[in-house]
Structure 1
Amino acid sequence: MELHTTATGADDRSVSAPATAAAPAPRTRRRYPWVVFALAFGLLLADYMSRQVLSAVFPFLKTEWALSDSQLASLTSVVALMVGILTLPLSVLADRWGRVRSLVLMAVLWSAATLLCALAAGYEQMLAARFLVGVGEAAYGSVGIAVVLSVFAPRAHAALSGAFMAGGSFGSVLGVGLGGIIAVQLGWRWSFATMAIFGLILALVFRAVVTEAKLARNATDATQRRPEGGNSFRVPVSTLFTNPAVLCAYLGSAMQIFTAAVLLSWMPSFFNRHYDLAPDRAGAIASVFVLLVGAGMVSCGMITDRVGRADMSRKWSAAIVFCTISLFCLAVGFSLGTGPAQLLLIGVGAFFSGGSSGPTAAMVANLTHASVRASAFGTLTLANSLLGLALGPFVVGVLADHLGLATALRLAPLAYLGAIAALLLGKRVYPAGLRRLAAVDSTASH
């Protein structure tokens, strides 16, 4: 694997350095990017464990508090809604205040809010606590991935982006799977409490190991190699919205994550209602499909980096293919009756459902200036949250109240049509997007 070389920043397309810099980097420098990735990935697991544990306790809350599907969906969507509203301003703030300090503060806040979920006495208190979870999680994904990509070279960005984003699926697996088991054995309140404790511990470890100074020393982008507290050129935040290719990446990513978010939120209920499984078994089976979503993000990211090695525009084509496969498999799968054929098709569709996340994130990184990289991913998270993570589960919840859950799930994959259209347009305007970025870089160099 060539990721060992990318971690040192030895990609001549991203770093201009004297010939003497080509000497082998110390072992600790080669290792540190992977330490950063591991800790940031661990916090992302904690993030989504706190967010998705709710899905595992849906049946308990529905029975204990007599909630409708729309109310259950609102407890999920309020988190994504707050992420969507706050991710951009908090990402811009993190670019200026300090990414490491921002990440630690976010993790402490969402973990404390998850603990409040365990103490909620009713729907209103739970909704307020979930609101705070969303505030804490708002910019973690955007700032976290900006930190990770800053110490790896561009040739591995799609794979790393896919792997990092897959942390959401893996965290959902742990949150749903462990949450269901803990809820059955100890009560649903302990499901939230366990996730909160895990997040607080990881936040302390991250604060002890990762610093702004170490990130600057290991940065692969010359614009970020500055002493801590030093000044550097920053492009206007408005550049994140004036490049048509970047806008297409935002929209394509959001529309493809719509259906993936539906699978993350509603698969436990699907197995509970249509396969007559108890909540703990439904959560365990659903976690397998959620795991497929995460595995697909990683695998599709690696495939994308390989096919796009010679021509970066091929990454757009890869994203389009992934969306098309998932659209077909999920639409047909949810139209079939219960049984092995349905499970197989849903499984294949789930594997490719988030496969475009890595390619679109790589395009965002490739088309934006490093000084506003966290803000760029904040904008991507904004689109993903408002049009995908928040809208998907809520729309399916409303449709389920009127048409039934099976019909709602059958309609959800149609969102891929919008994703495919956006990605096709993005590929067409990609060369012009690169020229716009080159003009910005030229301004920065002067």
Structure 2
Amino acid sequence: MGLTSTTTELEIAGVEPLSSPTAAGRRTSYYPWLVFALTFALLLSDYMSRQVLSAVFPFLKADWALSDSQLASLTSIVALMVGLLTLPLSLLADRWGRVKSLVLMATLWSIATLLCAIASNYEQMLAARFLVGVGEAAYGSVGIAVVLGVFAPRVHSTLSGAFMAGGSFGSVVGVSLGGVIAVHLSWRWSFAAMAVLGLLLVALFRALVTERRLAEHAADQNVVTVGTTGSAIRVPVSSLFTNPAVWCAYLGGGLQMFTAAVLLAWTPSFFNRYYGMAPDKAGAIASVFVLLIGTGMIVCGIITDRVSRNNPAGKWSSAIAFCLISFLALGLGLRLDTGAPQLVLLGIGAFFAAGSSGPSAAMVASLTHPSVRSSALGTLTVANNVLGLALGPFVIGVLADRLGLLEALQLSPLVYLLAMVALVAGKRLYPAGLKKLAAQSAAAA
């Protein structure tokens, strides 16, 4: 059944499937999971370096007398650079080499995180965070392209959700561990610890993952990788933007990240201010909700793969449902008084907050040719960062300076309404989108 599913998706894309897996493929079947584990570990490091900042917000606010909008800018500058640079760097990685690109990116963000540890004022910290964003820019898109390239399409929603959930899990570790280190040592050591871990993981990844072995295992899974055979076709980069269904996936995926990004950035401050918790305890409690976000991404990806097994359009329906559940739970929960009922609703909302991430990535992958898949997922990452990870925390920070943090948070779930509109439109355009992809592939062959 797995081979039939793979062959069908390749035929839709206008690509001739390779020969079926042999004993060599079975003999080295562990390697795709090793690639996933190492790429996932670096993604954890990525978000640990990014989100440790949230755990030390109270310390920076006290030491440097920063406003909420200044604190938010330190978070949003990373996501903004990711949004601006993801597409060009993804295009470069498709041609220069994905493994070399991942190693270079991870090295840069780790060194930049070390610079955060020695920053002496807001301006220096902002510059260091700028470099963190440059280093992290295309890691998500190139990393998921590497992972999807060595697995069959029938598990792409699950793998996409699990991989993207690494952002939440990394945030959990970054926020909780960063808070503990900041309280017992200093906030500078919080950044330093994340930097050292990142550099160690870079060395391990570089030693075990190579372009040659990735190409071998892509062939074992009947996945066409550009540059591995002379017959592999390449479609124009413009195909990333000429399919209306893909545009809907980009917009829906990016907008559904808005509120999830708000929760990642502002939950520690929420518990610190409204539940009267110390920074380390607030970070630990907030990490539970961040963990729910990541767990939800994985579970929602699994659910999506199951419900869409015989109906690919089911990916769109699942994404819409996840947005609706989170909209209702967070919208009500943020208007309740502090206490158990509020925490339960916030937990439900957090679980589904980014549940559409896996389906969105799978939809983009199914609507774009393998030769530009890193770039397509890079475009989705641009949408995730510009519309979600950069815009969400910054807008709420600005509103918090004027309305108060709680009042600002209460407005954030409304963005799900826009996400659902985009996803509903995408579902209607999906059949035509598949036909357009087949025509593009045939024209390039």
TM-score, length basis structure 1: 0.95
Counterpart residue type for residue 7 of structure 2: D
Could you say which residue in structure 2 is the equivalent of 1:298? 298
Q: Distance in 1 between matches of 2:228 and 2:394?
A: 45
Spell out the pairing of 1:170-189 with structure 2 (5 A cutoff). 170-189=169-188
**Greater CA deviation, 305-314 or 22-31?**
22-31
Secondary structure of 1:224's aligned partner:
coil
Distance 1:421 1:14, change over 3 A: closer
* Structure 1 segment 258-337 matched on structure 2, within 5 A: 258-337=258-337
Alpha-carbon distance, 1:443 to partner: 2.2
Instruction: Kindly report which structure 2 residues correspond to 1:174-253, keeping only aligned pairs within 5 A, or say none.
Output: 174-219=173-218, 220-224=221-225, 226-227=227-228, 232-253=232-253
Residue number in structure 1 paired with 2:390: 390
- The residue number in structure 2 matching 1:85 is 84
Question: How far apart, CA to CA, are the structure 1 residues paired with 2:137 and 2:201?
Answer: 18
Report deviation, 1:28: 4.0
Contact 2:61 2:71 in 1 (8 A): yes
Structure 1 distance, partners of 2:164, 2:437, is 25
Partner SS, residue 7 of structure 2: coil
Tell me the distance in 1 between the aligned counterparts of 2:251 and 2:306. 24
Q: Percent identity?
A: 68
Structure 2: gaps spanning 5 or more residues: 11-15
Question: Residues 200 and 10 of structure 1: is their aligned pair in 2 closer, same or farther, counting only changes over 3 Å?
Answer: farther
Structure 1 outlier segments of 4+, above 2 Å: 9-19, 21-29, 220-223, 225-228, 230-233
Map residues 28-43 of structure 1 onto 2, 5 A cutoff.
28-43=27-42
- The code of the aligned residue for 2:224 comes to T
Distance 2:9 2:291 in 1: 33
CA distance in 2, matches of 1:227, 1:339: 57
**Retained in 1: the 8 A contact 2:6–2:222?**
no
CA distance in 2: counterparts of 1:137 and 1:401, whole angstroms: 29
Task: Give the CA deviation at 1:232.
Answer: 4.1
Match of 1:344 in 2: 344
C-alpha separation in 2, matches of 1:232 and 1:333 = 51
1:444 Cα deviation from its structure 2 partner:
3.3
Tell me the alpha carbon deviations over residues 252-303 of structure 1, each in whole angstroms, 9 at most, x when there is no partner: 0011000000000000000000000000000000000000000000000000
Cα distance in 1 for partners of 2:18, 2:216 equals: 16
- One-letter code aligned to 1:71: Q
1:396 and 1:11 map into 2 onto residues whose CA distance is 43
Q: Secondary structure of 1:276's partner?
A: coil
Give the drift of 1:221.
4.8
Distance 1:424 1:227 in 2: 37
Of 252-261 and 28-37, more deviation after overlay is shown by 28-37
The answer to whether the 8 Å contact 1:270/1:405 transfers is yes
What is the aligned counterpart of 1:12 among 2, 7, 22?
7
Code of the aligned partner of 2:183: V
Shift of 1:222: 4.6
Residue in 1 that maps onto 2:52: 53
2:26, 2:204 → 1: CA distance? 22
Counterpart in the other structure of 1:95: 94
Q: 1:295–1:155: structure 2 CA closer, same or farther, 3 Å change rule?
A: same
Q: Give me the whole-angstrom Cα distance separating, in 2, the residues matched to 1:262 and 1:18.
A: 44
- How far has the Cα of 1:23 moved from its partner? 4.3
Name the aligned partner's letter for residue 233 of structure 1: I
The TM-score normalised by the length of structure 2 is 0.96
Alignment partners' CA distance in 2, 1:18 and 1:116? 47
Give SS of 1:67's match.
Answer: coil
Q: Report deviation, 1:434.
A: 0.1
* Mapped contact 2:43–2:140 kept (Cα < 8 A): yes
The corresponding residue for 1:144 is 143
Distance in 2 (alpha carbons) for counterparts of 1:90 and 1:302: 30
Distance 1:304 1:383 in 2: 21
The AA in structure 2 aligned to 1:50 is S
Equivalent residues of 1:293, 1:353 under 8 A apart: yes
Indicate the SS of the match to 1:361.
helix
Tell me the equivalent position of 1:117.
116
Helix, strand or coil at the partner of 1:264: helix
- Could you say if the C-alpha distance between residues 189 and 22 of structure 1 is closer, same or farther in structure 2, counting changes exceeding 3 Å? closer
One-letter amino acid of the structure 2 residue matched with residue 177 of structure 1: S
- Could you list the runs of 5+ residues in structure 1 that have no partner in the other structure? none
